[in-house]
Amino acid sequence: MKAEPFEPRDIQQLESLKDGNRWLRGVLCTLARRGVALRRASPERGAAILDALATLPYYKGGQFLFDLLEIEDFMLDGPPAEILPTTLDAGSLQRLAGALKAVKRSLDGEEPVEETIDVTLEGGVSNTDLPPLEAGFYLYQDVVLGIWASVSELGSG
């Protein structure tokens, strides 16, 4: 009889990785569904946003990584991912902005300062009635539009 190749700690680590994958898939699918909603509600605006972003290195680099890692397949495999309403909500954006400011200060050779953002962000994208993902459409663009929608709706609510 062959012994189980995994030790209990291996199984625990694998489950932790699977949890992380479920979370990442939920975040990406939530953003993509917000992007689909923006694209359907305002096709001209969605196209204009993508055209404006398409020349930026962030956009092109993100598209390269998205394709390289086959994220689209990851998002579409299996049952629909759970919507994660806190994806890029006001609190997470405040924390992210603070972290990016700290990285910038560090790269600029300045002393890291723990600061709070003095802007209060409110509002955000509604997570009710989000459309399903559309296989056959390029999901990277929907994720980008979902990020745009999440950020641009803050402060307007």
Q: What does the pLDDT read at residue 116?
A: 52
Give CA separation, 73 vs 2, 70, 80, 92, in Å. 35, 6, 12, 26
Where residue 140 falls among pLDDT bands split at 50, 70, 90?
very high
pLDDT at residue 63 tops 90: yes
Token code pair at residue 109: 């050779």
Q: What is the pLDDT of residue 121?
A: 42
Average pLDDT value over all residues in the chain: 85
Please report, for the chain, the start and end positions of each structural domain, with discontinuous segments joined by +.
11-76+124-152
Instruction: Please report the pLDDT score of residue 64 as a whole number.
Output: 95
